[in-house]
């Protein structure tokens, strides 16, 4: 429980810090007056002021914000956000998204230099050295020997044991040869399930593919440090494509069916999986943060009021038309309404996640 809470705070802290720092540094470079830079939401647990900006940490670790003069109110100050050129406001608006992409790129590059299992790339096409291969159960057939023994999708098969003889499996083919050579016999498979080793006694039937599982291989690849940024960039790009397609299907499902896909998770799902990946080790944990960073970037880029993409939408039309399409007060009201709808959606997803995980 405590470990999961710590992992959750680390994940959100890194993601929010990267995103909001992007807005912050872009605003500062543009000469905009930044009134507050906050990680977490109030009430504040730590706060200090320097060079006109208040830096704070809020007790609610579910986000953060950069408060700029003239962002939500009218101001005649030349340093106000609303008085900047459309180009400057556009850069400030997308800076958080850009920082999340850069964070993902950095983390993927780092883990590949250390040694990691690619999320989207075929390990055989990665320009590096395979340092290990895991045999992963992708599916379990009904009424199979594996099903009866309690083997589940996601389990990693480590070795086989029979008559005090241990057999190590280098790949899925080794396991297939082993089970086929022990048809009609009882074997013991040692598996890894989320970091815990379990022994499974299995009575193999006298038939083809006696175990009854679908297998895959997950290879850990180490890339030379000078090639790691290129591999990390490619991994980031491939993940962006996957998330983009998923979000497209998600939006289509919401507007065509009025339903949110069961694959969508909120803060509760992030909390649960933060603990799971934290226990799996630093490499898996960093990959999880990188994948979430890509998701956060693309979600924020959607042209929805209250999100960065919503503000970008108004700025682009202002640039095209040469004037604002709505007054500042009206735009702020639209964003506030969008923010309320977004909070309601997050609440509904959170309630569903609570039922699912607890």
Q: 């044991």: which residue's tokens?
A: 161
How far apart CA 19 and CA 4 sit, in angstroms, is 22
Residue 332, φ and ψ in degrees, nearest 5 = -65, -35
Helices (H), the chain: 2-29, 86-114, 145-149, 172-180, 228-257, 267-280, 282-301, 308-321, 328-357
Is position 20 annotated as part of the catalytic site?
yes
Task: Please work out, in degrees rounded to the nearest 5, the angle formed at the alpha carbon of residue 272 by the alpha carbons of 290 and 248.
Answer: 55
Tell me if 61 sits within 8 A of 9, measured CB to CB: yes
Q: Coil, strand or helix: which one is 41?
A: strand
- How many other C-beta atoms are found inside a 10 Å radius of the C-beta of residue 153? 11
Q: Which residues pair with 66 in a beta bridge?
A: 37
Q: 């993601």: which residue's tokens?
A: 15
Q: What is the DSSP letter of 123?
A: G
Tell me if 247 sits within 8 A of 301, measured CB to CB: no
Q: How far is CA 97 from CA 22, 25, 250, 352, in A?
A: 8, 13, 20, 27
How far apart CA 26 and CA 84 sit, in angstroms, is 12
How far apart CA 191 and CA 178 sit, in angstroms, is 15
How far apart CA 163 and CA 182 sit, in angstroms, is 12
Distance of CA 245 to the CA centre of its chain: 15
Q: Give me 250's structure tokens.
A: 């998600």
Please list, in sequence order, all residues whose beta carbon lies within 8 angstroms of the beta carbon of residue 29, skipping any fewer than 6 positions away: none
State the Rg of the chain over Cα.
25
| Catalytic (active-site) positions | 20
């Amino acid at each position: 429980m405590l470990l999961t809470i710590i992992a959750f705070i680390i994940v959100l802290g890194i993601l929010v810090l990267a995103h909001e720092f992007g807005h912050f540094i872009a605003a500062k470079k543009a000469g905009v007056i930044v009134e507050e830079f906050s990680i977490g939401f109030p009430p504040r647990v730590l706060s200090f002021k320097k060079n006109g900006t208040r830096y704070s940490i809020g007790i609610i670790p579910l986000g953060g914000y950069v408060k700029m003069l003239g962002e939500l109110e009218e101001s005649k100050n030349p340093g106000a956000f609303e008085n900047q050129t459309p180009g400057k406001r556009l850069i400030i608006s997308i800076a958080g998204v850009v920082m999340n992409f850069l964070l993902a790129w950095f983390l993927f590059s780092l883990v590949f230099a250390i040694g990691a299992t690619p999320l989207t790339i075929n390990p055989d096409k990665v320009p590096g050295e395979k340092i290990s291969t895991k045999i992963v159960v992708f599916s379990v057939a009904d009424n199979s020997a594996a099903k009866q023994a309690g083997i589940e999708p996601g389990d990693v098969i480590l070795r086989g044991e029979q008559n005090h003889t241990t057999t190590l499996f280098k790949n899925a083919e080794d396991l297939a040869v082993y089970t086929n050579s022990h048809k009609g016999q009882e074997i013991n498979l040692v598996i890894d399930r989320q970091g815990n080793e379990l022994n499974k006694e299995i009575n193999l039937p006298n038939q083809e593919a006696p175990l009854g599982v679908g297998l895959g291989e997950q290879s850990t690849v180490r890339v030379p440090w000078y090639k790691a940024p290129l591999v990390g960039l490619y991994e980031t790009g491939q993940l962006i494509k996957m998330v983009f397609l998923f979000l497209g299907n998600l939006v289509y499902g919401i507007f065509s069916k009025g339903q949110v896909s069961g694959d969508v998770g909120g803060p509760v799902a992030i909390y649960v999986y933060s603990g799971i990946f934290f226990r799996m080790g630093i490499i898996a944990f960093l990959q999880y943060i990188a994948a979430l960073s890509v998701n956060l970037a693309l979600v924020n880029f959607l042209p929805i009021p209250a999100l960065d993409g919503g503000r970008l939408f108004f700025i682009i039309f202002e640039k095209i038309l040469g004037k604002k399409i709505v007054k500042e007060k009206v735009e702020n009201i639209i964003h506030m309404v969008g923010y309320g709808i977004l909070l309601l959606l997050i609440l509904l997803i959170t309630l569903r996640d609570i039922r699912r995980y607890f």
